[in-house]
Structure 1
Amino acid sequence: MYVSEWENGRRPISDRYAAILRNVLGTTDEELRGEARRPAAPTADGYDDLLGRIDSASSVSTSMVQAFNDQTELIRTMDRQMGAASLVDQMAGHLSALEEALKFAVLPSARRPVALALAGASTLAAWQAIDSGAVERAWRHYELAKSAARDAEAPMYLAHATGEQAYVLCDAGRPALAVELVRDARRTLGQAGSPRLRAWLFAAEAEFCAHAGMAGDSRRALDAATAAIPQGPEDRDPEMRSIFLNDAHLTRWRGNVLGLMGDGEAVTDLYDALEVMDPTFVRARAGLHTDLTQAHLARSEYDDAKKHLRQARLLASRTGSVRQRRRVDLLSEKL
């Protein structure tokens, strides 16, 4: 009677019977419960399903990979304007589709393009998780991004994912370890990366050094970032679409780092960055107002600090940024 009810889905398989059936049928718990309507011994028919998935994965065309990348780009655009909170399910589905396509791709010619798309999407998903306060999910996404980058033989994507992963350590109160990780990413990349990515890694290192109280190292990393950044208004790295960095962005980053060290020059850099910031980068704008709050506090300019703190809180709430709200709350305690 139980077997009939299991087959027809009228009764779930209990843990007790599942343990017995797994031993009898040689299935995993997932396979058993997933096929609860047919708890029969596996047959050679399973090969048909496997080969079907492999054939489907091998037929992923260039246009399909482009569709995956277009979806990542759409989510990235929505994220910077609206924040990550409303995109969790959409991003989860996107990553699942990419992982499925990669899982059954056999030959390198089929795997590499999908793996590269997955590396980019996973890094974005990880940064969204950091912004949402889901740090364990962020860490796992970065590990997925690094694995996909290795599969794609893409050292730039590996270095970027590793450098961003260091932010999890820094936010968790381990800035010295973050410094070591981003330096390892930079050394491993060497001169193989684009100038914009190398500048990004130096700037991230400068930020972590500032948090770690390594002022001299921080300033040297800032100088290296300035020397590496390509000149001109273009901010998108043509070799790696997830990197946005030009002189204006680096000026804002420099202001943030100097503010962390209590340097009075931070205010000038941050106001310069505010004047030229792209208005669609809403979350970044929240961060910039938070940086200005911190810089004015370092100069005991409390009225200006309060003004920028109000703007930072408004924009952080608009995007649902847990990370920025945490910064705002910490600065509020000083006013």
Structure 2
Amino acid sequence: MSKGLRSARTARGWSQDRLIFEMERYAQKRLMDIASSASLKTYVSEWENGKRPIGERYAAILRPLLGVTDVELRGEPEKSMPQQADGYDDLLSRIDAAQSVSDSMVQTFLDQTELLRTMDRQMGAASLVDQMTGHLASMEDALTFAVLPGARRPIATALAGASTLAAWQALDAGFVERAWRHYELAKRAAQEADAPLYLAHAMGEQAYVLRDAGRPEMAVELVRDAQRTHAERHSPRLKAWLSAAEAELCAAAGWSDDAWRALERAAGVLPGGDETRDADMLSIFLNEGHLTRWRGNVLAMLGDGAAMDELYSALRTADSSFVRARSGLHSDLAEAHLARGELDDARTHLQQARLLANRTGSVRYRRRVELLTGRL
């Protein structure tokens, strides 16, 4: 209990007083009655020291505030609790129910994932933990009791896309183990669904966990393996996305020539036009505008002077609904200005990056902002 709340609070860089302030603000916005500041100070101390259990009333506030699951909040070990069918009649009832999952129900799963993706893009992941946890549980339950391949594959495809989104949200919130497990779930679901695009995308995103953990070389190998996995079935946009990801990871590893070659491949295969998504690969957003920003990011990491033009061009055309991505863009510009010794400009962009990271609750981008701030 104590370890869970304390770890989640410190991961966001919050003191106990800041946590209490955020709890009060959250409750006030939602017209919720909670204890006084003095009492909350006692509660938080007792929660973190294991002297008082966190009741559901306050857990419902803390989970979205900190972007954690109930297990992570309470610091309890994951328990393996497979759902036991109560005899053959109950088992068959659940199998029949899963078999009757219609195309419209699968579409409902996909629509819910799309809604959560839109909310995440604009508001951040922290407030969506409960919804995403329940969403994945519903699909996993449906897949567990679906028997025949014709019923399982559509559910598995939906689960692959949702699990990849959940993994990226966990990584953004600073929960790397949860992110890794979700990526593994996404890969298993994609393999069962015979959905190579979703498998390659999950592998490509999973490489960022390795990069963030300080293993960029291993990350490059994983994203390259993703490109080789059923490569003949990849769409042009997915190929461009994987190549751009490889370029960024190569830059993180300090492999300049490899990064440039990957950027050239991405530009060469990306479909033209303003469309950002493929009909059969909704998890990816990528057109020339997005690639310009990505190229600027890579060039900034390599210390290339051309980064500035690319990044300012991307900033002028950036979709305002991609709030978290704009935080990354301002961080890229700060890094590019730092490379040129333009400290005032760097501070301006870091301020914008910090505001947007705080708005979305992005622990990952806030860490980057702090690292760049330390170079001023």
The answer to whether 1:170 aligns with 2:170 is no
Per-residue deviation, 1:136? 0.2
The answer to whether 1:110 aligns with 2:148 is no
Q: Percent of pairs identical after alignment? A: 69
1:111-151 C-alpha deviation (Å, 9 max, x unpaired) = 00000000000000000000000000000000000000001
Matches within 5 A, 1:228-267: 228-267=269-308
Query: SS at 2:259's partner residue?
Result: helix
Structure 2 partner of 1:212:
253
**Residue of structure 1 aligned with 2:267, choices 226, 236, 245:** 226
Report the Cα distance in structure 1 between the residues aligned to 2:312 and 2:197, rounded to whole angstroms: 32
Query: SS at 1:237's partner residue?
Result: coil
Structure 1 partner of 2:241:
200
**Residue of structure 2 aligned with 1:77, choices 114, 118, 128:** 118
Matches within 5 A, 1:53-132: 53-132=94-173
> What letter is aligned with 1:225?
A
Report the Cα distance in structure 2 between the residues aligned to 1:160 and 1:126, rounded to whole angstroms: 12
> What letter is aligned with 1:198?
K
Hey, which bits of structure 1, 4+ residues long, moved more than 6 A?
none
Report the Cα distance in structure 2 between the residues aligned to 1:30 and 1:164, rounded to whole angstroms: 29
CA-based RMSD of the aligned residues comes to 1.4
Q: Given the superposition, is the C-alpha separation of residues 225 and 63 from structure 1 closer, same or farther in structure 2, using an over 3 Å criterion?
A: same
Structure 1 gaps, min length 5: 1-28, 36-41
Q: State the number of aligned residues.
A: 297
Per-residue deviation, 1:191? 2.7
> What letter is aligned with 1:331?
L
Per-residue deviation, 1:189? 3.0
Matches within 5 A, 1:134-153: 134-153=175-194
Report the Cα distance in structure 2 between the residues aligned to 1:238 and 1:216, rounded to whole angstroms: 33
Matches within 5 A, 1:40-55: 46-55=87-96
Per-residue deviation, 1:30? 5.1
**Residue of structure 2 aligned with 1:286, choices 311, 321, 327:** 327
> What letter is aligned with 1:194?
S
Report the Cα distance in structure 2 between the residues aligned to 1:237 and 1:128, rounded to whole angstroms: 22
Report the Cα distance in structure 1 between the residues aligned to 2:114 and 2:222, rounded to whole angstroms: 27
Per-residue deviation, 1:187? 1.0
Structure 2 gaps, min length 5: 1-79
What is the TM-score with the length of structure 1 in the denominator? 0.87
Report the Cα distance in structure 2 between the residues aligned to 1:265 and 1:212, rounded to whole angstroms: 20
1:221-252 C-alpha deviation (Å, 9 max, x unpaired) = 00000001001111112220011000000000
Structure 2 partner of 1:307:
348
